Amino acid sequence: MLIQQCGLCGCPSTARLCAQCASLLPALGPACARCAIPTPIAVEECGACQRQSPPFDAALAALRYQPPVDALLQGFKFKGRLALGVVAAELLAKICAPRLVDALIPIPLHRTRLRERGFNQSLLLARQVAQGRPILQFLQRRRATAAQSGLDSDERRRNVRGAFQVQGDLPPRVALIDDVMTTGATLAEAAKVCKKAGADWVEVWVVARRP
Ligand SMILES: [Zn+2]
Ligand SMILES: [Zn+2]
């Protein structure tokens, strides 16, 4: 077997992650089916979703966003370590395989950020989890938004309001793809846009959910 390095700890490994690091990745566990927030037992809708329905209809996350998931996704996104992206995509593909959607829609980066980074992590993830389903690059960033990190939930909502423009029409059932869901403000804004463009079921697929 080909010996390579574990993408997280750097030890010699026959896989992209060594067995030890792979075992440390926390599965999401019981969660709200609507927004993927971890809950003591699995529920259709958590209290927050009951109080205010999100614009998306379901959310799936492979992992809980806690160490070493932060290192995995930051290595992929900010250091361009694409092997870590493959690890993340494989975990996401596993939980999304049975979902019935007509198309996948990656959350776009604004072109200035795309230029800096060289790739859109959501598009790379979408390509690896598509399994024959079409990928629509339907959303475009209308403007460069400030990074969501460091903003509270109201600020996050304001920051992404009107951030997307669209081209074309959508099939009835679509999945939005992103790497991390925190408050869900970006995904909620994107879901609203998808519904306006004709989708009647929008679900969210993310690698990791921040509790
Ligand atoms: Zn390792
Ligand atoms: Zn919920």
Q: Which of 18-27, 32-41, 117-126, 165-174 has the lowest mean pLDDT?
A: 165-174
Percent of the chain exceeding pLDDT 70 equals 99
Reduced to 3 states, what is the DSSP secondary structure of residue 40?
coil
Is residue 17 situated within a structural domain? no
Residue 199 lies inside a defined structural domain of this protein: yes
- Which ligand is closest in space to the CA of residue 38? 2
pLDDT bucket at 18, cuts 50 / 70 / 90: very high
* 120: confidence class by pLDDT, cuts 50, 70, 90: very high
Determine which of 31-35, 113-117, 152-156 has the lowest per-residue pLDDT on average.
152-156
pLDDT at 26: 96
CATH code at position 165: 3.40.50
Q: How many Å lie between the centroid of ligand 2 and the Cα of residue 79?
A: 32
Alpha carbon of 58 to ligand 2 centroid (Å): 9
Ligand 1 centroid–CA 11 distance in Å is: 6
- 54 contact partners, CB below 8 Å, separation of at least 6: 34, 35, 184, 188, 191
Residue 7: the pLDDT is 92
- 3-state SS assignment for residue 175: strand
Q: What is the mean pLDDT of the segment spanning 97-106?
A: 96
Judged against a pLDDT cut of 90, whether residue 148 lies above it is answered with: no
What is the whole-number distance in angstroms between the Cα of residue 44 and the centre of ligand 2? 8
51 falls within a domain: yes
Residues within 5 A (CB) of ion ligand 2: 32, 34-35, 46, 49
pLDDT at 152: 84
What confidence category does residue 2 fall into, taking pLDDT thresholds of 50, 70 and 90?
A: low
The answer to the question of residue 8 being in a domain is no
Write out pLDDT tens, residues 29-72. Answer: 999 999 999 999 999 999 999 999 999 999 999 999 999 999 99
**Cα 52 to ligand 2 centre (Å):** 9
Please give the structure tokens belonging to residue 170: 């959508």
* CA of 7, nearest ligand number: 1
Q: Which residue, 13, 1, 31, is CA-closest to 209?
A: 31
pTM of the model: 0.93
Inside any domain, residue 48: yes
20 in any annotated domain: no
Q: From ligand 1's centre to the CA of 80, what distance in Å?
A: 18
Residue 171 lies in a domain: yes
Tokens of 127: 């390509």
What is the 53 CA–ligand 2 centroid distance (Å)?
8
> Domain span at residue 127?
27-209
CA 121 to CA 106: how far, in whole Å? 9
CA–CA dist 186, 74 (Å, integer): 18
Q: Which residues contact 210 (CB under 8 A, 6 or more apart)?
A: 65, 180, 181, 182
Structure confidence at residue 1 as a pLDDT band (50, 70, 90): low
pLDDT band (50, 70, 90) for residue 181: very high
pLDDT given for residue 168 in this prediction: 78
64, 99 contact by CB (below 8 A): no
Q: Residue 2 falls within a domain, yes or no?
A: no
Q: What is the percent of the chain with per-residue pLDDT over 90, rounded to a whole number?
A: 76
| Number of structural domains the chain divides into | 1
